[in-house]
Amino acid sequence: MKILVCVKQVPDTSEVTLDPITNTLIRKGIKSIINPDDKAGIEAALKLKDQVEGSQITVISMGPKQAEIALREALAMGCDEGYLVSDRKFGGSDTLATSTILAAALKKIGFDVIITGRQAIDGDTAQVGPQIAEHLKIPHVSYVEEFEVDGDALIVLRQFEDRYHKIRIKFPCLLTAISGFGEIKYLTVAGVIEAEKKELKYLNYEDLKDLLDEGCIGLKGSPTKVVKSYTKEQKSQGTLLKGLTTNEAVDAIMARLKEGHIL
């Protein structure tokens, strides 16, 4: 079975700050990590590989050359080969353009199962995975927490707000994994050394142009435009009323509501 996992290198959001003049993210000097949900996707792929003898995991990432670091980490976690999809023409792609490019790359590589993270912490859209499935015209299940192989299909447990869905989905298919899928394994020295020995593969626009419309990729092919990025306004802690009887507390709350023209 050929298992493809999509990963994204993202800035560590615990360290991200905004430029007060341009209102854009300051990425310089910020540590980059593998998107947490994508790490869960790698764990899901490793579990599937254990269940299906002879399986191979290919990890793929779209981004600049520095995304090689994320691919090396994925290889150290147990993936078998890595692809970097990179080209200046891909720069500025929104979720639609990104999914278009990735779908072309995945189609060129070939697959039985595609696994992505639910969403990326630098965008939180949860759009790319399902969009890839739509481009490739294959079924998909999002918010996957667990699965098991059932012949030519998977029995998938999907987390859905206050309940679960149990779904049978046939191959080929796409799953998006949530961060609670499984415990992320620590890297081993042997795994890191082995990952450094593996040769990464590369796909650029020339490699994929037969599968792409140039007008649908990059900044030009992105219908979504970010007008402004800003931090949330901090809410006040409110007022704590102490030492009041029940009736006094009710009177005080009513007075505040009337003062704020809520009543």
**More confident of the two residues 180 and 251:** 251
Q: For residue 239, how many other CB atoms are within 10 A of its CB?
A: 7
Mean pLDDT value across the chain: 88
Distance CA 52, CA 185 (A): 20
What's the Cα-to-Cα distance from 199 to each of 12, 54, 218, rounded to whole Å? 27, 21, 27
Residue 51 backbone zone (phi > 0: left; psi -120 to 50: alpha; other: beta): alpha
Q: How confident is the model at residue 212 (pLDDT cuts 50, 70, 90)?
A: very high
Domains of the chain: 2-216 (3.40.50.620)
Residue 174: its H or E element? strand 173-177
Backbone angles phi, psi at 122, to 5 degrees: -95, 0
pLDDT at residue 209 in the model = 95
pLDDT at 105 over 90: yes
Question: In the 8-state DSSP scheme, what is residue 117?
Answer: E
Please report the pLDDT score of residue 28 as a whole number.
66
Count of H-run helices and E-run strands, the chain = 7, 13
Helices (H), the chain: 36-51, 68-77, 95-109, 128-136, 189-197, 205-208, 246-259
pLDDT at residue 18 tops 70: no
pLDDT at 20: 65
What would the mean pLDDT of 42-59 be, rounded to a whole number?
A: 94
pLDDT in tens, 19-41: 666 555 666 667 788 888 899 99
**DSSP, res 243:** S
User: Alpha-carbon dihedral of residues 41, 211, 122, 79, nearest 10 degrees?
Assistant: 30
Q: 186-200 pLDDT, tens per residue?
A: 777 888 888 888 999
Report how far residue 257's alpha carbon sits from residue 263's, in angstroms, rounded to the nearest whole number: 6
Q: Is the pLDDT of residue 14 over 90?
A: no
Does residue 63 or residue 121 have the better pLDDT? 63
Per-residue pLDDT for 97 more than 70? yes
Taking the complete model, does pTM exceed 0.75, yes or no? yes
Q: What is the DSSP code (8-state) at residue 130?
A: H
